Structure formats: structure tokens, C-alpha cells
Structure 1
């Protein structure tokens, strides 16, 4: 999974083009880059820059103390305040990426000192809806500064867009043993507590940027969707958001504490650090810790539990900040009043199958054998349901569809079903537009909807393909996300009426160049996979 994720991110990153010039903009070329007014945040004064279309951006704002030295692995700590104006004109450091990730794109710098956020707004007045974006990349890679995630289009749509970086992999999710004392009791969820700290910053400061702290929507894709899922079950985040969107990343559970403790103990043992020796832990360089990740996981691999983004250095249940898996066995009570949009793409598995030559050569017999291996009690019925759901797909493409649905779609359906037992509404979607790049192999693959949601398809043209279709997709998806953030309902003139999801009809918005509502799409396949 991780190997194929890297391939696709590298392809996406290499496709970046210049931002579209907005001919109708009242900000002239000579004004782009001009300084904004100074904003006096709770931490200190900051000054951003103007972008096209009167958008003001504030990049690289610190929201918590640098988690380095003696603060390594600890939950985020408050910042020391400053008095001199800070120029917020460039993105802050990205988190350290797991070994094997592609080289940093453009001017992206990576560091343990990574607790930065960015704000885009069309002006500093009023109380506009706020959307807080959580980037994907499992819990091991990614950054908010990637061009797909730029928030200028949301700002022009009347949203205050916030994106952020937080600790990842071993630096964000190492649960140290109990012998390290209370300061590290929640170290296995430190990266998620970073996000909570960023949401606290939003609550305290976003009104200064023209945002409404009482109308905050959290949204994310893939690992970012999993982060949204976890926040729905984290008591310290209660009241910091009011709506949620999960894109291709439903997380029902989290890493069990027993495994996380064993993994953290294996890491410190591999590093040669004695329990409680904070000075020794702080003195180890970053690359040494990275180099010890695999050795630590190998020591406890026999304890690992299967599940979406569970195991290795990922968020773990601490019994307090995350009392249990967020949707295990039911939806968390704290999410009862949170409206939700949730969905996936039609061909989620293709990203992770790129370059797999065995799939290209797969036969009908080989496909059926793989299905029986995965579903031994209903192999024949499952194979038939997959063929019916994906007519014209090759045997290898059907294998990929099976794996992608298992990884993303079914958990999204289960999460929605559990959420429906609560009062707040749920809307379900599927994105079907196939991109023509990669020789068509990606189809409507994982992450292909992102630039439609953000309106940034011009930034990644060589990824989404030429022509008017990306603009048509964005006109629908971006508008629906904006409507949801503004009103709690995704209805928009750009799409057909979108009914709430229920267990009788299972109404699903199928986003495509011509979007439509489908009741219980691929119902036979869904029933078999859920069974």
C-alpha cells in the first residue's frame, strides 16, 4: 500500500502548474504579494500577503511549541508569545515523512518542528464559515502545503480555509511505556492532539481573520478522513467543530493500547534509551529514530491487529483523549449532533495497484482464486457480484476493485450506518469521473477528487487531464462542500437534489460530469462484503 501511494504522490507533485490568473480580479498583478493588515493573534502579531482575487493568505502560523528536544513525543505544549510582527508569507515546515517517501517538492522543508497552520480568507471582516483541512498520506506522510490543497478558491467562495501540519509516523504516534510517567501517557496520539491544539487555535483566533468559530467544518481525505473519524470520538475536541466530511478514509477503530505500548517499548529498547531518560531520548538525531522504526515493528509484528491504518506508528487508544475506537462498536455519543458527508471514489484500489504487473496478466481463473482466498464461504457469489458491478473490467481490474472496496467503501458504509442511529443527518457520495492520465489505469482512483473539491485542478492538470471535465466536476463538488460548510446541508444548484442517506433507500450522490442520485449502488456487492 505505501509503495503505491508514493508512486501516485510523486506523479501528482510533478504535475503542478502555475495558478490560474483571474481576469476579473480587482487585485492587479502588481498588488499580488502586498502585505495585509497586521492581525494580533493570541500568540502575537502576524502579517500575511494578498493573492489573486482579493484573497489574503497567512502561511506558516505556529499554533503550538516546537515538539523537539525534551518535548519530543509529548502532547503539544503552549507557545511562548511574541511581540514583533511575524511575516506569514511562506509555508511552515512539513512533518518528517516516513522513510522511502519521495524527495520534498519545491521548497517544502521537513522537520520535527512542524506545528504550523495556514489561513486563506477573502477579508478580515464578518463571520464566515470555517473549514479545517486535514491532509492525507495515512499517518506517515503528507503536508498541507501541497498545491492541490491551496485554499484560495475556498476563500473566494466565502469560506475561511485553514490547513495544518502535525506530527506523523514515529514522531506523532509512539506510545511510550507507562514507566515514562504521566507526561507520556498519551504520546501514542500526540499527532492527533496536535490537530486538537490547532482547532483550539482556530476557536481562539479565527474571528480575527473573518471566520466564525461557531461554524467550523473539519474535512479530510484518506489518512485525513481517518483523522476526522478519530476527532469525532476524541473528548478534548468536543465543541471545536460542528460539521464533518470524510473522504475515502472512514476509520472505525484505532491501534489497541497494548500493541502501542509494546511497540513504544521496542523502539526505546532498539534506541538503547532507559525508561524515563528524557535527556537521552532528546539527544538522538532524527535519522537514527527513523532507522529504528522497522526494527521496532519487527519485534512486535506478531501482536499487530488488522484494520484500516491500524498498527505500526499510528494513533492508539489511550483511554482518555481517545477512550476507544471512534466507531467501535457504535458511533461516539459526542458526535450525535454533527452532520456528516461521507463517501469514496469508484476505483479506490487503482492507486495502490499501479505498477503491479501480475494484475495486468491476471486471468479469469486467477481472479476467482483470489476472490475465494479472500471470501472462502462466498467466493462464487462474490466473483459474480464484482463482475456485475464492474462490467467490462479485466480480471486484474476486478481484483483491484475488490481490494479497494474492502479498504475504503465498506468501512464508509458501516460508519454511516452507525452514525445514522444518531440525530444528525448523513449524506453519502461516490465519485465516478475517470481521469485519462496514467494510460487510464487510475480510473476514478483514490485521491482523484481532491482538486475538484478544492477547485485547484489547474494546479495539477497533468494529473486530472485536459479539457473542461475537471472544471465541471469542481463546479459540483466544490459547491456542495461550500454549501455544507455554510448551512449544514450540501444542496446546490450545480447538482441534483441530494437526499439524506437512510437505510431504506441508501440514496447516494454519484458525482460525475453529469451527476445523479442512485439508490443503494452495487447493492449485491455491498451486502456480500458486509456479510
Structure 2
């Protein structure tokens, strides 16, 4: 295997450089008494003007999920009087700093009291002066166990400068966000298990109720995310609780075939975790809620990196796996733009995956799979591409194809790295779409100083595709290379390299092979 984690380490290094340079946007800021005001349903808030836009940070969208509210559905915010200052990011949701180095670098603090969101909105009219703007709600990644929205690469200012109202949210993670236990069911037979997904749904409800105050259009909301955020977006497409709360989806480098537990399995995992926390097997819900947050964070950090973790199948937020939801025709008929990077295997070391564990799901089909790849490839090259195809390329193209039958879909293959980093990469690593998606390369001195004109052109092109989709549910416009929709007849993906080039049927045999293998298998990859 390659050293693999290169892309992840590079992004972390850049965040650190930004911190050291004093430019990290999540740091403390003095209250701007002339800052912009917005009236929410819960009260008046004052934000800040920065980077040419208006920003409101750390807005509570639900009550603190602590004490009696732990492992409950998100509860209403207590309204406030006067003006609430929203100039700083709220704490990241409880997690181990070792879980995600970016949390340590960019979160002002980490807390169980974390259900806040952030809004960036244009300072000046773009287009029709009074026309409401398209809205993007961003779900961060991090394997459902870590992640922050104060990370500089997902700052929403540059998108807001293009006329989009950007919302980024915190949601409960790890055992705080995805947990089941018999004691909770004994307390309330309707209790859910996907508290993190319900947080995301509550934030979407907040957007519907409040985004007009920020110039946003509640009837034109794009739900977007990468990694676990993309998986979340997929599951919200299948959730009856999220129906009508968004109108389009952008999903980047997620795994819709992610290995997950059902409620029976999750109850066993929850009982094991509670026992490790020193709680008796017959404990009641109050005793569970008394477990110190630090203990749960430690247990979360001790989970194997490749453990099944995330949405728990069988509650009100996620009644079915995505495969079952598709087969039952329960996926929301909304336009979907999805895609993957060309070197997703860069994340494999972070998941403790080896060449052997990557190929293990192939079973007796390994030789059949090998025949689909170039004969002169080494075993390492074969394993790397199998990982990308099996975990990212095939699952996302499968879902794009299914969604094309219900609405419309577009698929991209991101195969671009900045000029100065090309010798380090064998393609585009996992996560490296972020500075191009948000346009935040300009906020990180080390990156911006080395970006060449062609790098900036590529970033601007990709952002324009995404903003077009947010506005009108189609990425194309007359000034860009045409991006055809993805469907069964053409299977055209947009290959985003030095140029933007639509290609039909790329890797089609491999995609069909892994899709058939997944459907025929009793276990998920």
C-alpha cells in the first residue's frame, strides 16, 4: 500500500499552518457592536462582517443535549431576550481530539453541549435585489465519531460571495449520537437510536423556519456533505422524518454501502459499552445518563477504526438500509449530484486496512475481479483500486443510477491535485475536494501561495458547477463544458482533471461487478 494518509496529513498540516499564522477563523473575536442583526424564531442575534459577507456563528438550533436530554430527541431552544452575540463558533460535539487532528487544531472547544449551527450570507445583493438566495446546508464528515464545522476548509464565506446562503451544523457524534440500550427502550418504547440524524433533521427544520431572515429561500435548500456527511445526506433522503426539508442533494465521497448495525445489534453494542463504563447490566436510563461524558469519549476513541458505526437501522430516522429503501422506492425524488475522488484509498491506513483486509470481501470472486483490471498492475495497485471502486465508486454510481430513475442525477470523478503537490499523490486523495468545493484555498496561506493559475481556474470551475446546481438543480451553464445527466443509457460522468471532460461508461464493468457482488452478499462491505 502507499503511505496513503498523505492527503489527510496535508490538510491537517495546512490547518496547523493557518492556526500558527493567526488567521484561523474559529478563534475568539470581539463583539462587533455594528455587526449585522438577524431575527430568528428564538430571538435576535448579532453576527460579524468578514471576508465580504455576513457571518452568524454558534446559533443554537436545539436545547443542550446534556443531563436528562442525553439520548433523547433534540429538544426546543429556550428563547432569549435582548441580543445574542453569534460571532464565534460553538464547541465541537464531544469527541476525542486524537480521533481527528483537525478537531484539535480548529475547534474552540469540545463539549456535549454542542447543537449549534453557523450561517454565512451575502452582504450585498446578487441577482435580483430582493430575490431569496439558494441555501446549502453542510454536514461534516468524520466517520460519525469526529468532525468539526470550524475547520477552515469548510468556511462558507466564499460560497456566500457567489450568492449562496451557507449553513454548517454540529450534530451529536459517537456514542452520544448513535446509541441503543434496553434501558432506554424500557423508559420509552418509542425511543430512537439515531440522535445524530435527528439533530440534522432538527437543523433542517430550523432552516425552514428561520433562513428567510438571512435572505435564504426555504423552498430551495441543497443538503450537502462529504464522507459521513454524505452518508447522512443519503440516509435523510430515505428518512420519512426529513421529507420535504430539502430539495436537492450534493454527496461527496460517501459510502452508501457502509457496514451498519440494526437495533438488535446496536443494543448489544450499547450494553457492552455501558458495562465498560461501569454500569450494571440491569441499569435504568437515569444511570446511563449519569455516565461521565469523558468516559463515553474514551470508549468512543477505543472503537476499532473499521468498526461498524453510524446510523442504526430500524428507528424513526433510519427505518431501512439504503439498499432496502431503494428497493422499496422510499428514496426522496430529489436531484442528486454525487462523486468520488480518484485516490480514495488514501484513507485506508486511517481505517487500519491492509491489502488483505481490502480484498477479503471478494471471497472466491477475487480472480474474477482481478480480470477486470490491467494485467500489468501489481497486487498493491489492484488492492488500491478495488478499495476505491468497492467502497466509493460503485456504491455512489449505483445510487446515482437509481436516483436517475426517480428524479435526476449527475456524477463526477475528481482527478485533480494542485500542481505543487502532484508528485506526492497517485490521484486525488480522500477529502481533497474540500478546498475546491468551498473555495477556501484562498484562506490558507501555504496553499494559496503555491496555487497556480490553472489550480484556481479548476477550483472556480468546480464551484460554479456546484453553485449552478444549488440554484437550478443542474450544474451546467453556457459558459462551462456541458455536464450531461447520469442515467442507465449513457452512464456519463464528468471527469474533473486538468480539463472538465464528460466520459461515458468509465469503469462500467467494474461497477457492475461490485454492485452484483454487494446485492448477492449477506454482509455489507
Same fold (TM > 0.5): yes
Structure 1: runs of 5+ lacking an equivalent: 21-30, 299-307, 360-366
Structure 2 counterpart of 1:516: 501
How many Å separate the matches in 2 of 1:154 and 1:292? 37
Deviations 1:284-310 (A, max 9, x none): 322222334478x69xxxxxxxxx987
How many Å separate the matches in 1 of 2:368 and 2:454? 36
How many Å separate the matches in 1 of 2:236 and 2:370? 36
Give 1:438 deviation, angstroms.
8.4
Structure 1 counterpart of 2:308: 311
Give 1:133 deviation, angstroms.
0.5
- Stretch deviating more after TM superposition (198-207 or 515-524): 515-524
Aligned to 1:429, which of 412, 425, 429? Answer: 412
Give 1:409 deviation, angstroms.
1.0
Give 1:381 deviation, angstroms.
4.9
Give 1:264 deviation, angstroms.
1.4
Question: Could you tell me whether the CA contact under 8 Å between 2:178 and 2:193 is conserved in 1?
Answer: yes
Q: Provide closer, same or farther for how the CA distance between residues 133 and 395 of structure 1 changes in structure 2, counting only shifts above 3 A.
A: same
Structure 2 counterpart of 1:476: 461
Q: 2:49 aligned with 1:44, yes or no?
A: no
Task: Map residues 99-118 of structure 1 onto 2, 5 A cutoff.
Answer: 100-101=98-99, 102=101, 104-106=104-106, 108-118=108-118
Task: Map residues 480-495 of structure 1 onto 2, 5 A cutoff.
Answer: 480-495=465-480
Task: Map residues 65-464 of structure 1 onto 2, 5 A cutoff.
Answer: 65-98=63-96, 100-101=98-99, 102=101, 104-106=104-106, 108-123=108-123, 126-177=131-182, 180-181=185-186, 183=188, 185-252=190-257, 254-273=260-279, 275=282, 277-293=284-300, 311-312=308-309, 314-328=310-324, 330=326, 333=329, 335-353=331-349, 375-387=362-374, 395-422=379-406, 424-435=407-418, 436-437=420-421, 439-441=423-425, 443-460=427-444, 462=446
TM superposition score normalised by structure 2: 0.85
Deviations 1:43-70 (A, max 9, x none): 11101111132x1000000000000111
Question: Could you tell me whether the CA contact under 8 Å between 2:238 and 2:322 is conserved in 1?
Answer: yes
How many Å separate the matches in 1 of 2:75 and 2:426? 42
Q: Provide closer, same or farther for how the CA distance between residues 438 and 165 of structure 1 changes in structure 2, counting only shifts above 3 A.
A: farther
How many Å separate the matches in 1 of 2:306 and 2:248? 23
Aligned residue for 1:229, secondary structure, equals helix
Structure 2 counterpart of 1:363: none
How many Å separate the matches in 1 of 2:438 and 2:300? 34
Give 1:325 deviation, angstroms.
1.2
Aligned length: 495
Question: Could you tell me whether the CA contact under 8 Å between 1:218 and 1:241 is conserved in 2?
Answer: yes
Structure 2: runs of 5+ lacking an equivalent: 24-29, 125-129, 517-525
Aligned residue for 1:516, secondary structure, equals strand
- Stretch deviating more after TM superposition (342-351 or 102-111): 102-111
Structure 1 counterpart of 2:27: none
TM superposition score normalised by structure 1: 0.84
Aligned residue for 1:66, secondary structure, equals coil
Q: Provide closer, same or farther for how the CA distance between residues 469 and 15 of structure 1 changes in structure 2, counting only shifts above 3 A.
A: farther
Q: Provide closer, same or farther for how the CA distance between residues 179 and 137 of structure 1 changes in structure 2, counting only shifts above 3 A.
A: closer
How many Å separate the matches in 2 of 1:224 and 1:106? 18
How many Å separate the matches in 2 of 1:488 and 1:244? 9
How many Å separate the matches in 1 of 2:344 and 2:35? 41
Q: Provide closer, same or farther for how the CA distance between residues 441 and 355 of structure 1 changes in structure 2, counting only shifts above 3 A.
A: farther
Q: Provide closer, same or farther for how the CA distance between residues 133 and 19 of structure 1 changes in structure 2, counting only shifts above 3 A.
A: farther
Aligned residue for 1:386, secondary structure, equals coil
Aligned residue for 1:188, secondary structure, equals coil
Deviations 1:249-285 (A, max 9, x none): 1424643111111111222233343556344333332
How many Å separate the matches in 2 of 1:177 and 1:249? 31
How many Å separate the matches in 1 of 2:296 and 2:351? 30
Q: Provide closer, same or farther for how the CA distance between residues 463 and 349 of structure 1 changes in structure 2, counting only shifts above 3 A.
A: farther
Aligned residue for 1:327, secondary structure, equals helix
Question: Could you tell me whether the CA contact under 8 Å between 1:172 and 1:190 is conserved in 2?
Answer: yes
Aligned to 2:484, which of 471, 478, 499? Answer: 499
Aligned residue for 1:35, secondary structure, equals coil
Aligned residue for 2:47, secondary structure, equals strand
Question: Could you tell me whether the CA contact under 8 Å between 1:457 and 1:470 is conserved in 2?
Answer: no
Structure 2 counterpart of 1:24: none
How many Å separate the matches in 2 of 1:180 and 1:385? 48
Aligned residue for 2:45, secondary structure, equals strand
Aligned residue for 2:430, secondary structure, equals coil
Deviations 1:156-187 (A, max 9, x none): 11110000111101111111226543547444
